[in-house]
């Protein structure tokens, strides 16, 4: 059991004092009914509550997937473009929602976000070898030699050994699909440049077995991930 003011605070609706004011002001409903007593305790399992007429489900932790659009920065303090957090409800930022890894501002596609530090650390760890699938549009035609070089490994500046794709295949004359496990900085773009081409556009289409197409998210839209979807993020 948890008191209503603590529930609201845990869900990002403000300080304890502010949450008490929300309840006292009649802005909070539980079970479709007004809830004027912020000291009343509730079982949080499956708890639905309303704030200012909008219904929310209590979630101990947030696990989200976003179809990231272009010209959005994966940062709480962006430099030149809006923060990815502007695409989410304000209370999520209050819960310290963070991207799991980063996509460049001009890279689109599947991005995970969470307020669970252990989950973020585990998903970001290179030791897990979770494959990430990218679809790249190239500035020059895709050749068999390019695909072969990416699969064999290319040497990048500041890397002790060549980096290679898990798999790589041409989709058409200007696009290829590449699977990586390392997660190095700007890795797809740098590998293409090292192999003699250039990345004109880049989209991440899968992490592990979680595929963007299966989520059916238009650019800029997000969804909560359930247990079965989170299980798809595990390494094979």
- Other CB atoms within a 10 A radius of the CB of residue 204 amount to 21
Q: Helices marked H in the chain — which ranges?
A: 4-10, 16-24, 90-94, 117-124, 144-152, 187-194, 212-215, 227-231
Q: How confident is the model at residue 235 (pLDDT cuts 50, 70, 90)?
A: low
| Domains of the chain in sequence order | 2-57 (3.10.290.10), 63-126+210-231 (3.30.70.580), 131-207 (3.30.70.1560)
**pLDDT-based confidence at residue 62 (cuts at 50, 70, 90):** very high
Query: What was the pLDDT predicted at 67?
Result: 98
Q: Which residues are catalytic?
A: 104
**Predicted confidence (pLDDT) per residue in 171-190, tens digit:** 999 999 999 988 788 899 99
What's the confidence (pLDDT) of residue 182?
A: 83
pLDDT tens-digit series, residues 63-74: 999 999 999 998
**pLDDT confidence tier of residue 236, bands split at 50, 70 and 90:** low
**pLDDT score, position 102:** 86
Q: Are strands 98-99 and 108-114 parallel, antiparallel or unpaired?
A: antiparallel
Please tell me the predicted confidence (pLDDT) of residue 101. Answer: 87
- Give residue-wise pLDDT tens across range 72-90: 998 877 778 899 999 999 9
Q: How far is CA 162 from CA 134, 193, 229, in A?
A: 19, 13, 33
Give pLDDT tens digits for 4-16: 999 999 999 999 9
């Amino acid at each position: 059991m948890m008191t209503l003011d603590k529930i609201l605070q845990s869900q990002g609706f403000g300080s304890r004092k502010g949450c008490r004011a929300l309840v006292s002001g009649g802005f909070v409903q539980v079970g479709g009914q007004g809830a004027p007593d912020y000291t009343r305790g509730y079982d949080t399992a499956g708890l639905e509550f309303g704030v200012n007429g909008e219904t929310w489900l209590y979630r101990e932790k947030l696990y989200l997937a976003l179809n990231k659009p272009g010209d959005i920065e994966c940062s709480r303090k962006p430099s030149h473009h809006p923060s990815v957090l502007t695409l989410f409800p304000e209370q999520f930022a209050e819960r310290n929602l963070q991207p799991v890894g980063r996509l460049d501002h001009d890279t689109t596609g599947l991005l995970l976000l969470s307020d669970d530090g252990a989950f973020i650390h585990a998903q970001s760890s290179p030791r897990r070898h979770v494959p990430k699938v990218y679809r790249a549009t190239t500035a020059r035609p895709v050749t068999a030699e390019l695909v072969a070089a990416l699969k064999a490994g290319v040497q990048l500046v500041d890397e002790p050994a060549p980096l290679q794709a898990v798999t790589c295949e041409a989709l058409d004359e200007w696009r290829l699909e590449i699977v990586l496990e390392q997660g190095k900085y700007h890795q797809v773009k740098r590998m293409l440049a090292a192999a003699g081409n250039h990345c004109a556009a880049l989209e991440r289409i899968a992490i592990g077995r979680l595929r963007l197409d299966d989520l059916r998210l238009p650019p800029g839209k997000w969804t909560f991930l359930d247990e079965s979807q989170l299980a798809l993020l595990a390494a094979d």
